[in-house]
Amino acid sequence: MFGFQVTSHEKSPQLVEIPLPEPKPGEIRVKIAACGLNFADLLMQKGTYQDTPALPFVPGMEVAGVVDALGDGVSGLPRGARVAVFGGHGGLAEYGCFPADRAVLLPDAMSYAEAAAFQIAYGTSHVALAHRAGLRPGETLLVLGAAGGVGLTAVEIGKLMGARVIACARGADKLEIARKMGADHLIDTDTSDLREEVKALGGADVVYDPVGGDLFKAAFRACNPEARILPIGFASGDVPKIPANHLLVKNISVLGVYWGGYLAFRPAVVTDSLAELLRWYEEGKLHPHVSHCLPLSQVTEGMELLRSRRSTGKVVIEIG
C-alpha cells in the first residue's frame, strides 16, 4: 500500500510504498477513504508538535473509511462499518490501524469527506465553547481566524448556542464564508483596528483564538470584565505573553483548550461532545465546509494551502 511518510524533520515527506499494517489487540484496521488535514500536521512534520510520533511516521490525524479488520478483543464494530477515527497520526495512507474505542459510526447522510473534516474542528470548538467557556445565550463571542478549520466551526456552533458572533478574518471572501455560517458582525483584520471595532460593538465576553500574536493582544484589550479567552493554537507562529495584572484588574480568565488531551485523562468529554455534534449534524444544524478535496498524490499541495492560509474550512485528502 502507499502512504505519505515522514522520515526526517529536515526533509520533505514522500509518498512511498509501506507494509500493510495488522491491527493489534483493541485496534481496528480502516480502509481509509478520506483524511482531514490540520495545522498540527505541519508542526508534526517539523517535529514541533506536542504529540509528534517517533520517526518514521505517517501524518494525518483524522480519517474516515470502512472497517477492514479487527484486532483481538474488539466487538461492536463489524467489518464494513463506516467510521471516523481520530488516530493522532497514520491517516495519510491507504490503510491504517487505530484504537477501536476512538471510532465513531457515521450517519448515513455524512460523506467521507465531511466525516474526515468533522471531529477535530467541531470537537475543538464545542469543547472550548460549551465545556471550557460555558458560553451563554446573548453573550458576545469574538472568533479570530474565523474562516479557518476550527474558526469557522466556532462561528457556527457559537451562533447555534445563542451567542452574538463577531468574526475576524483576512479579506472579504473569507468574511463572506463566516457570514454564511452565521456571523453577526465581520471585521477584516487586514484593514481594521480589531480592538476599536470590537469595543464599538460592546466588547467581547468570550474570545476564541487559534491565531495568537498581535490579534490575541488586540482581542485581550477588547474584553469585557469577566471575559473568557480560549487559546486554541498559534497559527501566527507567535505565542503571546499574557499580562497577569490585566487579568486581575478585569477579572478575565484564560482557558487553554487541547481537545486531544482529554482522550488521555477524561475521554468522556470528547465522546459526549461528539455524540451531541453528530445529533446536530443529523438534525441539519451543522454544515461542514471543505474548501479543497485532493488526491493522496497531492498531499504536499494540501499542506501548502494550510501553510499559506489560502484554504477556508478544511482541506481533505481523498484516498479510497
Which ranges of 147-186 does DSSP label H, i.e. alpha helix?
A: 149-160, 172-180
Residue with cell 465553547: 129
Neighbours of 22 (CB within 10 A): 11
Q: Provide the CATH topology of domain 2-118+288-318.
A: Quinone Oxidoreductase; Chain A, domain 1 (3.90.180)
Instruction: Report the percentage of the chain scoring pLDDT > 90.
Output: 96
E-strand ranges in 78-139 read: 82-86, 95-99, 103-105
* Residue whose C-alpha is closest to residue 63's, from 2, 107, 118, 116: 116
| C-alpha 180: how far from chain center | 19
**CATH H-level superfamily of 121-260:** NAD(P)-binding Rossmann-like Domain (3.40.50.720)
The predicted-structure confidence for 12-53, as pLDDT tens digits, reads as follows 899 999 999 999 999 999 999 999 999 999 999 999 998 899
| C-alpha 39: how far from chain center | 8
Residue with cell 486531544: 260
- Based on DSSP, count helices (H) and strands (E) in the chain, helices before strands: 11, 15
Q: Which residues, including other chains, have CB under 8 Å from residue 312's CB and lie 6 or more apart?
A: 147, 148, 152, 174, 177, 289, 291
Residue with cell 452574538: 164
Can you give the residue ranges of every domain in the chain? 2-118+288-318, 121-260
**pLDDT score recorded for residue 320:** 73
Given CA atoms 195, 197, 202, 203 in this order, what sign does their dihedral have? negative
CA atoms of 155 and 150, how far apart (whole Å): 9
Q: What is the residue type of 320? A: G
* Residue whose C-alpha is closest to residue 146's, from 163, 166, 168: 168
Neighbours of 138 (CB within 10 A): 9
CA atoms of 210 and 217, how far apart (whole Å): 13
| Run of H or E including 66 | strand 62-70
Whether 137 contacts 129, CB under 8 Å: no
| Run of H or E including 141 | strand 140-143
CA atoms of 170 and 161, how far apart (whole Å): 25
What are the distances in angstroms from CA 112 to CA 90, 195, 295?
17, 40, 13
Q: What is the residue type of 154? A: A
* Residue whose C-alpha is closest to residue 34's, from 92, 86, 101: 92
**pLDDT score recorded for residue 12:** 86
As given in the structure block, the three cell numbers for residue 95 are 490503510
Per-residue pLDDT of the chain (320 residues; tens, 9 = 90+): 999 999 999 988 999 999 999 999 999 999 999 999 999 999 999 999 988 999 999 999 999 999 999 999 999 899 999 999 999 999 999 999 999 999 999 999 999 999 999 999 999 999 999 999 999 999 999 999 999 999 999 999 999 999 999 999 999 999 999 999 999 999 999 999 999 999 999 999 999 999 999 999 999 999 999 999 999 999 888 999 998 998 999 999 999 999 999 999 999 999 999 999 999 999 999 999 999 999 999 999 999 999 998 999 999 999 97
Per DSSP bridges, beta strands 164-169 and 185-188 are parallel
